[in-house]
Structure formats: structure tokens, C-alpha cells
Structure 1
Amino acid sequence: MTTEEVKVLIIGSGPAGYTAAIYAARAGLNPVLYTGGQPGGQLTTTNDVENFPGYPEGINGPQMMIDLQKQAERFGTKVHYGLVTSVDFSTYPLKVVVDESKTVIAHAVIIATGASAKYLGLPSEEKFTNRGVSACAVCDGYFYRQKDVAVVGAGDSAAEEATYLANLCTKVHLIVRRDEMRASKIMQNRVLKTPNIQIHWNSETDEILGDDSGVTGVRLRDTQTGEKREIAVQGFFLAIGHKPNTDIFKEYIDMDETGYIQVLPGSTRTNVEGVFAVGDAADNVYRQAITAAGTGCMGALDAERFLASKEVEAVH
């Protein structure tokens, strides 16, 4: 197994990871970034990004990630394609294993592994991704103005997505598996008071329907009777949660019950010295490219200050 020693190791390559790399590189920290299994992160599955400042005409998600990578590399970031398979944060410097074949000794680690939206597992979901199927109403709702859409889910996220879309869309069909929602009372009341939201109780998605133009409808199945029916929609939004990609850090890093990394308030510092968490891996509230990029900047600045303090300690 080969070994490499670096000042700053960045794990992940979405807006958070690349922004951290830009700031760390400009600070002379010679960062090394490993892209992970999905180079570019969630935005590589998004055709049009229209809410990131600086792109008045919008930008293609994959192209935006290519631009960020080039910007990071321009300042000296070494970008490697590889997946971090295990870590050892029990001693300092920190040890990270890539592709089970290379050990990286790092003096600071920035975790930017992101989170993945949960899907129902229907083949039609994949077929119509970016053609009517979305896991982010804030990202994509604008494209469905004055159209009918469906939202699947029963928690706070689903209630929030449905009410958000209700301001843009003609009608929102909220698909709920049981005869009640898991959302907080205040969010349930907000949904029930919104006139253009129709709740389909005891219903699950049997199939997403569509043609060459994209999604045209949803076939629902009654969870009690098995009866099937179809509703016409042009958009289908998943709001059944996200899973942070943080499993390999669980032994060392403090997380909440769903796996989001807990950071010290107002910073990106974790409970492990020299380890910082940025982007969606530590954000279960906003989950936007712009907020991920902002915390990427914070992570690099926190790492820079940490390394400067270590050098002072070494001098003394």
C-alpha cells in the first residue's frame, strides 16, 4: 500500500469540496482532493442550475462542476479520482485510505461527501430523472410554474416542498402512504390550509407515467384496497428524505440520528481535532449548492487557522 502525506485532504467534489479547495489552494495549503464515487456530487444529476449567483442565463449542473474543478486546479489543487474507503482518526496526523490501496496522511481533513436523496426504487424514476422527476423543489420548482405536480412523502420535508410548490404550481398532489402524516402539527396545518394541495391518503406510487416529452402522470395504488388510479401531472417530486454519505466516519465523528455530521456552532469543526465538515454532509436544513459552497469556504478558513496554530505549537 502506497503512502502520501498532505497538509489538507478534501474528501468529496461538489460545490463544498471544490470551494474548500479554491480557498485552501489560494492560502498556500497545497490541498489534495479525492472526488469520491460521484465526481461533482448531486449537481451532476441536475440539468439546469438557475439559482446560483453569477449565472444570469443559468448553467448546466455538470458544466458548473467542471468549471469549479478547473478553478480549484488553477490555484494548485491536486484532484484525484478515487473513493475514500476507510479512515483512522484515532491519532494525529489523520489517516485516510483511498480505494483500499493508498494511505494518505493528512494534517487537516475537510469532509465534503454530501448527501444522497432517497428514491422509491422505481425504474421510471431513473427514466424520467431531469425530465419531470426531481428530489428538490427549491431547485426545480420554478420549471413547473402553472403546472400540476405530485409530491411523495409524509414528513416535514414533504409538507414544506408541497407548500413551496403550491405558490408556483396550479395544483399539488401530495401522496401519503398512510391515513396520517408524520409532519409536525404546524406543517400539517399549513398543508391543509393550502387550497391547491390535494392529499391522497393511503396511497403509494405504483408507477411514474410519461413519454418522450417527460412525465405526464402518476399511477397510484391504494394501500388498503389495492385499487389503482391515475392522476395527470407534469412534475414528480420526491420528499422522502436524504441520506448523508458519512458512514465511514461513524466510528470517530459525532453525528445526529440520521448521520448528519455535527459541527460546533458557527464553524465547521467536528469533535475530532483537524477534521472539518462542510456541505450537505453536515446540513440537513438548507441543502443548496450556494450554502454548500459557503461552508466550503468556512472549512478551508477553519483548516488554515488550525494548521497555523499547530505550527505555532510546534515552534514552542
Structure 2
Amino acid sequence: MSHIYDTIIIGGGPAGLSAGLYAARSKMDTILIERGKFGGQTATTEELENYPGSIEDCTGPGLIERMKKQAEEFGTKFVKDEVLEVELDGKIKKVVCKKETYEAKTIIIATGAYPRLAGFKNELELRGRGVSYCATCDADFFTELDVAVLGGGDSAIDEAIYLTKFAENVTIIHRRDGFRAAKTSLEKAQNNPKIKFILDTVVEEAKGEEILEGLVLKNVKSGEISELKVDGCFVFVGYLPISDLFKGKIKMNDRGDIITDEDMRCDVPGVFAAGDIREKSLRQVITASADGAIAATTAEKYIEEHF
């Protein structure tokens, strides 16, 4: 008979690691499965000054290392494997991986999300060197400098307004002439003297050797090419949840975010979701960590009631 865990956590970012800590600390038999690098997006964030209490060594990798060690010390088992399939319906859940199959009474999904790339030349090469996907994380590096914001939705407009607290000038570059963002935010941006707009335009290329120095722009109507000198480029063309594994098995919105209640319960009993994978308004390390703690605590109560 195979070993049945109390909980299987899928994903090793802040939500998964926090769930691991809380579950193992509650004496739950806990295993965390991660296919790649522990930490998710946080592991790629060099400076992480907005996580409470993280002053010394406030890097993404440093924080993740401490979180993992803490969960490990309380007894969370860590496994590097790729999940191929999940069976969520039975009382005992099954997670089929490349190397092995695992069973548990509960599952916490913490697979996260990844920023949608804009697709311009050198985008990946200059990521973290002027090209960013998180204004809250990186805005203060661009104090009194010029930055561009790519996108036309709520996050692009809201983050552009936020960036004006730091940057000298903020240029919003949008491929259309209309915006999907809320009218109130848009009006606020249009009335902000630090913000200007370049519409009907896409970024073709990021220029710079070691750090970003400027953007090559193309007008989609006229085909005209121009250059914009900027120190930073914030890409807000959307986040994509890593949820393909769970499609058709669990309730999601049209984007593929998993829908939970405030206790992280999904619509399938014994299945919980935490962090960027779920439908939520703020995607930060602190909210992911909180989700993980809540999911583990709710999973513990579920086991007490059903087993």
C-alpha cells in the first residue's frame, strides 16, 4: 500500500513554502513538489525591500532560501519532479509525476503565474537590467529617471501612476488608441503632468549592452520607426496563471485563475489554492505567503472533519 500524505503542495514559490511551513508545523505529513527552481518569480527578484522584516539580505533568493529552510526544519519533505496529471475527485487525491506517483488527503495548488512577455528583441536579455514586470518591486531603482510602461489595461495605468512617485517622466506605450483600463484611473493618468502617452505603437527592440538605454518603437499605423531614451521599461501586458494541469477539474475564471473562497477552498472538496494561481487583486510575496498559511490551516481542519 502506497504512503498517503496529509497534504501535497504543488509549487515551491512563497505560497507553497508558506503552506509547507504551516502544514508541517501543525504535524501534518507534508510533501512539496517543485519542477524547477524554488521561489518562482521571487527567485528572479534581486532586491525585495517591501517584504516586512526583510532588511538584511533583502534579495528574493535570500528570502526563499530562509523560507525553504524553515519549512524543512519543521518536517516538510521536498521533491524535485514534474507533475504530469492530477486526480482530484476521490477522497484520496493522486498526483502523477515523471518519477513517482503521490497520494494525499488534501492538495494545495501553488503553481503561480508568470508575466506575459511583450515579445520585443532583447526583452529577456535585459530583464532585471532595466526591463521589469513589477513596479511595486522595482520602482525606487528609477528615482528621478525616465521610464516607459507597456500596456493599456488597469495594471499598466495603475502602475504608471504609482511610478510617478519615483520616476521623473513616465511614458505609457500602447498598441491601440483606446484603453481597457477603468475611466477613473485613465483620467487620473491623463491629468498627471509626469505621464505622457504614445499610442498606436509597439516596442520593437530594447537597446543597451549591460543595462537598458532606450527603446526602438514602431507606429502600427504608419510603420514609422523612432527611438525613446529611457532607463526603465515596465511591461504590463498581463500575467498568465500556470493552471493547464487543472483545466476541467476545478473552477476557474476565463483567464485560467483558480477561484477560491477566502479560506483558499476550491470547488472540489480537499483541494485548496494559494498565491498567484488564484483569482485575486494583489499579487505580491506577502499575499502569496498569507494565502499559503490560510490554505494549510484550512486543509488541517478539513482532515480533522473528514478523516
TM-score normalised by length of structure 1? 0.94
- Alpha-carbon distance change, 38 to 85 in structure 1, aligned in 2, over 3 angstroms: farther
2:4 maps to 1:8: no
CA distance in 2, matches of 1:3, 1:103: 9
Amino acid at match of 2:45: T
Match of 2:229 in 1: 232
Given candidates 290, 295, 298, the residue that maps to 1:294 is 290
Amino acid at match of 2:11: G
Q: Is the 8 A contact 1:89 1:272 kept in 2?
A: yes
CA distance in 1, matches of 2:57, 2:154: 29
| 1:202-281 equivalence runs, <5 A | 202-212=200-210, 214-264=211-261, 266-281=262-277
| 1:81-160 equivalence runs, <5 A | 81-99=80-98, 101-160=99-158
CA distance in 2, matches of 1:186, 1:4: 55
1:23, CA displacement in angstroms?
0.6
| Aligned length in residues | 307
1:3, CA displacement in angstroms?
5.3
1:237, CA displacement in angstroms?
0.4
Q: Which runs of 4+ in 1 moved over 3 A?
A: none
- Alpha-carbon distance change, 287 to 65 in structure 1, aligned in 2, over 3 angstroms: same
CA distance in 1, matches of 2:71, 2:208: 40
Alignment RMSD: 1.4
Q: Tell me, what secondary structure is at the counterpart of 1:126?
A: coil
Match of 2:23 in 1: 24
Amino acid at match of 2:246: F
Identity of counterpart residues, as a percentage? 38
CA distance in 2, matches of 1:57, 1:128: 26
How big is each residue's C-alpha offset from its partner over 1:32-55, in whole Å with a ceiling of 9 and x where there is no partner?
Answer: 000133432011111111111112
1:123, CA displacement in angstroms?
4.1
1:180, CA displacement in angstroms?
1.3
Unaligned runs of 5+ in 2: none
Amino acid at match of 1:295: D
Unaligned runs of 5+ in 1: 312-316
Match of 1:37 in 2: 36
CA distance in 2, matches of 1:42, 1:160: 21
Identify which range, 199-208 or 84-93, moves more after superposition.
84-93
Match of 1:75 in 2: 74
Q: Is the 8 A contact 1:205 1:219 kept in 2?
A: yes
